Amino acid sequence: MPTRSEVLRMLAELARLTALDEGSPQSFKARAYENAMAGIEAHTGEVEGLSKGELTKIKGVGGSTADKIIELGETGKVSKLESLREIYPPQFVELTKIPGLGPKTLKMLRAQLGVEDIQDLKAAIDAQRLRELPGLGEKSEEKIAKAIDRLGLHGKDRRTPLVEAWGIAQSLSRRLESIDGVVAAVPSGSIRRFSETIGDVDLVVASTDAPRVHDAVNRFPEVSETVGSGGTKTSFLTREGLQVDVRTVTPDQLGSALLYFTGSKAHNIQLRQLALDHDWLLSEYGLFAGERVVASRTEEEIYEALGLEFIPPPLREGGGEVEAAADGDLPRLVTRQDMRGDLHYHSDRSGDGRSSLEDMVEAAIAAGYQYVAFTEHGEDLAINGSSRQEMIAHRDRIGKLDDRYGEISLLFGCELNIGPEGGLDYDPAFRLEFDYCVASIHSYFDLPAEVLAEANEAGTGRFDASDLMPTSVGSGTFWTGMIEYMQAGDTGAAAGILADIEASWPE
């Protein structure tokens, strides 16, 4: 049976292509697939090996969807998905990433202008043909052109957000590790360095039988097009247009291969220079002194031979980490064990949260958290916002749970919406009911950057500095794409939590 991540990717693609096929993201079938995804994401048990009857007990999973999950497990494919893929190839589906181009508009562009990919769309924009179509116009045409530039869809060196590539890389690694003779399969490159965006997915496989690996890779269901396949490397494109490079090495070369293919280029250049200073040679096959292998099996061995502390992949960017490792002065990275709480928590009170307050509190306790702030959306967010009355009722529920669960502190918070002119949800007096607030821009992203910056400044400026202060940790300020504020004069739980964070933050 397929893994949870494989099922979720299949359903996500079905929902996307079905919305295209029916011309609406709100089509019944597309929504059904999305509901099934939500149910499977919230399901605490395994998905692998479940019967149809067991699958349909998962909230949102109907009989038809269960059949498709079982079909995926038995054949590696879903016939309905395969037929939709024939109609909507990857280069056309890529157009759905562009704001302002919904399924209905895309079908119209295809039917009336013959648009099949980004190049066709750019040509139509350059010829000013979009403005002639119903429901569009000159402004829409300009916004779409700007969106293409902003997303970088027109360039050859396209980048994929890490969050989109991570699941694919992990799923492929698990499948590779199930092949006979494979000792390890590890994502490398910019994924392993946790870069915000990645170019290709690089996988290093240590195996005693490389031909078996490459033969299996060519038959993976993710393969849309094979770019090349040889004795040590197979490259292919996924349905999403993402290139995957699978490289095989012998088990005793795993460390040097991981080091080489993780990068970055600048980091590797510095390491090779250090090797040359010893009259050694460093490559993906090992660290050599003439014919003698100095180190190759693990990265730790290679760094030690070069006189360096082990450098974690996220630091390998050529930004002084090699010098710091030589001096024994590398910074300690924050780990999962350092996390003591979460200050941006959405329950099912918000439309983008799926779990109840009780479930989320228990999950936080199980994770070892000492505090969480429930920051549901404010009233100005039309789809997911909460009215004043709903927020007060929510506060009372949080208060009761705070009394029930003595091992964790619960904060009543809000994610405020910053409007196009800097307006915020609620009035200043009501905002002081919250223990903690997050302020975010949720819409109007097509406005000029300077206008958004002014709105952001105006919105955050509406907090009275005598009542609120930026939440700071150590010598820096948290920046998560939002501006976080906390009541400075509060001597209760919120202020105590802030003090604990500052006192315990790693040096």
SS3 of 19-62: HHHHCCCCCHHHHHHHHHHHHHHHCCCCCCCCCHHHHCCCCCCC
Most confident of 100-104, 146-150, 394-398, 412-416: 394-398
Q: Which of 324, 305, 327, 306 is nearest to 315 (CA)?
A: 324
pLDDT at 475: 28
**Geometric angle at alpha carbon 98, from 92 and 102, rounded to 5°:** 75
Cα separation of 10 and 226, whole Å? 20
8 Å CB contact between 222 and 234 = no
Beta bridge partners of 415: 377, 438
Distance CA 257, CA 134 (A): 55
- Domain range list for the chain: 4-151, 160-249, 254-326, 336-504
Q: What is the mean pLDDT of residues 268-276?
A: 96
In CATH terms, 160-249 corresponds, of 3.30.460.10, 3.40.640.10, 3.40.720.10, 3.30.70.360, to 3.30.460.10
- 3-class DSSP state of 468: strand
Whether this model's pTM surpasses 0.95: no
**Does residue 493 surpass a pLDDT of 70?**
no
- Per-residue pLDDT, 149: 74
Mean pLDDT throughout 222-244?
A: 88
Fold observed for domain 254-326 = Beta Polymerase; domain 3 (3.30.210)
Residue 208: CA count within 13 A, CB half-sphere:
3
Confidence at residue 278, expressed as pLDDT on a 0 to 100 scale? 95
CA pair distance 350, 447, nearest whole angstrom: 26
Tell me the per-residue pLDDT of 156-208, one tens digit each, with 9 for 90 and over.
557 888 988 998 899 899 999 999 999 999 999 999 999 998 989 999 999 99
- CA nearest neighbour of 251 among 192, 167, 186: 186
pLDDT at 163: 86
Strand partners, 198: 160
Does the structure show a pLDDT above 90 at 470? no
- Cα dihedral 192, 193, 195, 201 sign: negative
**What span, in angstroms and rounded, lies between the C-alpha atoms of 441 and 455?**
9
CATH architecture group of domain 4-151: Orthogonal Bundle (1.10)
How far apart are the C-alpha atoms of 345 and 196, rounded to whole Å?
22
Cα separation values, 345 from 151, 334, 349, 361, 413, Å: 28, 20, 11, 10, 9
Phi and psi at residue 428, to the nearest 5°: -55, -40
The larger pLDDT score, comparing residue 252 to residue 481, is at: 252
Averaged pLDDT, 107-119: 89
Question: What is the CATH architecture assignment of 336-504?
Answer: Alpha-Beta Barrel (3.20)
**Spatial CA neighbour of 230 closest among 247, 254, 206:** 247
d(CA 233, CA 204): 9
